[in-house]
Structure 1
Amino acid sequence: MSENHPEGNKRPSNSQLMFAAIIVLALIIVAVFVIANSDSQPKENEKVKQDIVVPEQTQAPAVNTAQQEATAPEPQPEPVEPVAVETREPVMPEPVDMVVEPEAPTLPPLSQSDSEIKSAVAEYLSNQAVELLANDDVIRRTVVFVDNLAQGKIADKHSPVVKPEENFTAIEDDIIITHPNSYERYTPYVAMLDTMSTAQIVRLYEQYKPLFEQAYEEIGYEGSAFNGTLTEAIDELLATPIPESPIPLVKDSVTYKYAYAEWERLSAAQKQFLRMGPENMKKMKTRLEEIKRELNN
């Protein structure tokens, strides 16, 4: 059974409600982008709005205008006058601060340097080799010993290494010659140098060079001259000839001398060098030549 209602009281269908909802949603979206005064729009009759099936009364130009306005560039904030923040140059450190120089190692006082010297050497040498170093004033002893060595002398009391435990021996026959075992006494000292590379030896010397120069000044020289004195001492040893055969000796009371004058005329430092024996001398000369080149570079 159907009931007749006046046209004006007819309820909108579901499709009409859906369409109206879409229109409202579209207007909400437009309103997000458009600044408009809703009070200036004429108020629609709600009943009439419900009865409209086709949105003929929708003002297309207004919608199009809104769309155009929506696609138009958004209002930009007024330009801000350039301030110091924009034109300020970045604060950079002074050039002297930008170059970081490696800090020189802090050296101990000369009188307290023994433990550090031995610790530094121990990084490269065995404990047995470290024990060959003197127990006190290693740097002062080295400086005095090198200074005398450069003059062809031997400062026994200032040796930076302990003396060999075995005494010098000779084979006494028709011809007296040095016993081969006497050469072996110096093998541990040569091995100590062989354990370290030339670069390591020179680097260790350069690290503690200020202390060597200080000790050199204590004995009355210019500290900076020690490098030259060290080179002279090396040259003194390099000038020592290496014998190709055992050198005859003559006994003089409790000591021995070289039988040939050309060997006996050598300096005390060179004759001491001869006691190391030909093989040890060759190894030592090779290393001394390398050290000299590094020092002169």
Structure 2
Amino acid sequence: MTEKMDQEDSKVTKKRIYMFALVIMLIVIVIASIKLFSKLNTNESTAPVAVVIPKSEVIVPEVTESQIDDIVSPEVKEQPISVIEPVETKALPIAVVKTLPQLNDSDLSIQTELTQYFAKQTLKLFVKDDMVRRFVVYVDNIGKGKIAKKHSPLIEPQSSFSVIDGDILTIAPQSYDRYTPYVELFTSMTPQQAVSFYKEYKPLFDEAYEEIGYQERDFDEAILDAIDMILTTPIVTGNVPLLTESVVYKYAYSEWEQLPPAQKQLLRMGARNVKKVKSALKGIKKYLEVPE
């Protein structure tokens, strides 16, 4: 009986040893598989692993100049350094903005500016006070066919109007000549210069134009109206017959006498002077209508 029990215990012991060895073998196989799988993943992955090092733990070693020379190869040190020359650029022109005086204080500035275009003798033809306002009122009236003598920007001719009293009463040639200095003054500036001068002081002309009640209208329109009034004035050549009525002279032909006062005054300048004025005004109109 005892011998039989010993045999059974021996069988149980062998079975336990066998089971334990089997478990150990399985554990070894699992560990080996994990290591192999991890190694394959490491070889196949190309993405670098970011390792964050605290800033306080970063140590930058000091490198001396001699150590730098040892690091840099002689070939690199002997290569010439290319210098990029600075590119020369043209400076853009600076627009000079002129500071205009106040309208009430503009006479001296305008007189000084006019000396660039006219001789001293010619400048004496200008009325020196309230020059901008005079010009504005005078031009506005001309555009309406009127003459505003009290607001004329120019002084009146020194010589008086004269006639030839013959078989027919006509205008004397010397009456035309008294307007020649004014025509020469007017044509001394080129159309470009005249328009440039006007545009330089345009804010003052506009201000004076608003003063007489034109808040919604640009003074350019008044100038163009005045130019058109003069350009449509007929040119009369030869002797101009007149009629006398008391102390007043009238044109003998009704088509002339019925012209607006501004055009009748222009006829007194003579055909030669009228042609010069018209030619200058055509140029001024051309440059005045060019958009800025």
Query: Shared fold (TM-score greater than 0.5)?
Result: yes
Shift of residue 180 of structure 1? 0.5
Q: What does residue 236 of structure 2 align with?
A: 243
Q: How does 1:1-297 map to 2 (within 5 A)?
A: 74-76=69-71, 102-222=95-215, 225-297=218-290
Q: Secondary structure at the match of 1:117?
A: helix
Q: TM-score, normalised by structure 1?
A: 0.66
On the 8 A contact 1:171/1:177 being kept in 2, the answer is: yes
Aligned length: 206
Task: Tell me the distance in 1 between the aligned counterparts of 2:250 and 2:169.
Answer: 10
Q: After superposition, give the CA deviation of every residue in 1:209-267 in whole Å (9 maximum; x if it has no partner).
A: 00000000000102751101100000000000101222210011112000110000100
Task: Tell me the distance in 1 between the aligned counterparts of 2:188 and 2:93.
Answer: 34
Q: Secondary structure at the match of 2:167?
A: coil
Q: Secondary structure at the match of 2:127?
A: coil
Q: Secondary structure at the match of 2:147?
A: coil
Write the letter of the residue equivalent to 1:283: K
Write the letter of the residue equivalent to 2:168: I
Write the letter of the residue equivalent to 2:105: Q
Write the letter of the residue equivalent to 1:146: V
On the 8 A contact 1:129/1:192 being kept in 2, the answer is: yes
Write the letter of the residue equivalent to 2:152: S
- Structure 2, unaligned stretches of length 5 or more? 1-67, 73-90
Task: Tell me the distance in 2 between the aligned counterparts of 1:187 and 1:244.
Answer: 16
Aligned-pair identity (%): 46
Write the letter of the residue equivalent to 1:112: D
Shift of residue 74 of structure 1? 3.5
Q: Secondary structure at the match of 1:203?
A: helix
Task: Tell me the distance in 1 between the aligned counterparts of 2:258 and 2:139.
Answer: 21
- Structure 1, unaligned stretches of length 5 or more? 1-72, 78-97
Shift of residue 99 of structure 1? 8.0
